[in-house]
Amino acid sequence: MNSNSFLKPIFFSGILTFFSCLGENSWEDLESDYDHVLNVFGLVSLDSLQPSYVGLYSTTDLDEISRIFVGVDTLGWCDCDDDECGWDCENKEIDGYWILDSLFEPAALIKNASVIISDDNGNNYDFSYVENISLVDTIYFDTTVVIYGTTIEWDTTIFDTNNLRINLYIDSSGAFNPEPMTTYNLNINAPGYDPVTGSLTTPNFPSIDSLTQLGNHADTIIINEPFNLYWDLLQEGKAMVTGEVLLGNWWDDSLANDWCGGYFDPFVVDLSDNGLTPYTVYPWICSENLNQGAETRDYMIRLTAMDENYYDYFVVGESGEYSNALLNYPTTKGRSVGIQGGFGFFGSIASDRLLLKIAR
Partner 1 sequence: MQYLFFFISSFLFSQSMTASINGFVRDDASGEPISYANVFLSNSSIGAATNSDGYFVLSGIPLGLYEVNATMIGYSVFKEEVDLSNEESLRLEIRLIEEAIKGTEVLVTAERQKFERSMESSQIALDLREINSAPAFVEPDVFRTLQMLPGVQTTSDFSSALYVRGSTPDQNLIMLDGIAIYNPYHLGGIFSTFNTDAIKEADFHAGGFPARYGGRMGAILNVINREGNTEKITGSANLSLISSKALIEGPIPKWSGIKGSWMISGRRTYIDKVVNALNLPSGSKNADGSDIPLEFPYYFYDYQIKTNIDFNQDHRLTFTRFYGDDVLDFSYEDPVETVSNETVNIQQESQFGLDWPWGNQTNGLTWRWIVSPKMIAKTFLSNSRYRFDFDLSFQSRDTYTYRDSTVINFTNFNWNIYDIIKDQTLESEVQYKYSNDHEITSGFQIKKIKFDLGIQYDLGTQDTSFTWNPLSLKNNTQEISFFLQDRWEVSERLKIRSGLRLTDYNLHKKIYLDPRIGVKYHISDDIALKANWGLYHQFLTTANNQDENLRLVELWLGIPKEKPASVSEHIIGGIEYMSPRNIFYRIELYQKKFENLLTLKQDNANQYEGASQDTTINEFWDTRGNSNGIELLVKKSSGKFNGWIGYTFSETKYFTEPSGWHNPNFDRTHTVNIVGNYELTSDLELSAALTQSSGNPYTKILGRVYDWEQNLFNNSYWYPIDSYLVGEKNTERYDDYFRVDIGMTRKGGNLFGLEYDTYWQIMNLTRHINILSYRYRTKTDPITGNQLGVQRQPIPMFPLILTFGVKFEF
Q: Are 82 and 95 in contact (CB under 8 A)?
A: no
Site for partner 1 in 191-220 (CB under 8 A): none
Of 335 and 357, which CB lies nearer to partner 1 in the complex structure?
335
Cβ contacts of 207-215, under 8 Å, gap ≥ 24 = 207/231, 207/232, 207/303, 207/352, 208/232, 208/301, 208/303, 208/352, 208/353, 208/354, 211/301, 211/354, 211/356, 212/278
Q: Which stretch binds partner 1 (CB under 8 A): 53-61, 89-97, 186-194, 291-299?
A: 53-61
Q: Does 189 bind partner 1 (CB under 8 A)?
A: no
Cα gap 213→220, rounded to integer Å: 9
For partner 1 (CB under 8 A), the number of binding residues is 85
What are the angstrom distances between the C-alpha of 220 and each of 168, 281, 301?
A: 39, 15, 12
Site for partner 1 in 300-329 (CB under 8 A): 302, 304, 313-324, 326-329
Of 19 and 87, which CB lies nearer to partner 1 in the complex structure?
19
Q: Does 60 bind partner 1 (CB under 8 A)?
A: yes
Q: Are 296 and 357 in contact (CB under 8 A)?
A: yes
Query: Among 119, 123, 105, 125, which residue's Cα sits nearest to residue 56?
Result: 105
Cα gap 281→266, rounded to integer Å: 10
Of 1 and 139, which CB lies nearer to partner 1 in the complex structure?
1
Site for partner 1 in 283-302 (CB under 8 A): 285, 287, 289, 302
Of 154 and 282, which CB lies nearer to partner 1 in the complex structure?
282
Q: Which of 4, 25, 161, 274 binds partner 1 (CB under 8 A)?
A: 25
Of 89 and 302, which CB lies nearer to partner 1 in the complex structure?
302
Q: Which of 91, 137, 194, 250 binds partner 1 (CB under 8 A)?
A: 250
Q: Which of 3, 4, 17, 74 binds partner 1 (CB under 8 A)?
A: 17
| Distance in Å, CB of 181 to partner 1, minimum | 21
Q: Does 97 bind partner 1 (CB under 8 A)?
A: no
| Distance in Å, CB of 249 to partner 1, minimum | 9
Map residue 276 onto helix, strand or coil.
helix
Cα gap 103→89, rounded to integer Å: 25
Of 5 and 112, which CB lies nearer to partner 1 in the complex structure?
5
Map residue 194 onto helix, strand or coil.
coil
Q: Does 32 bind partner 1 (CB under 8 A)?
A: yes
Cα-Cα-Cα-Cα dihedral of 92, 94, 98, 102, to 10°?
Answer: 0
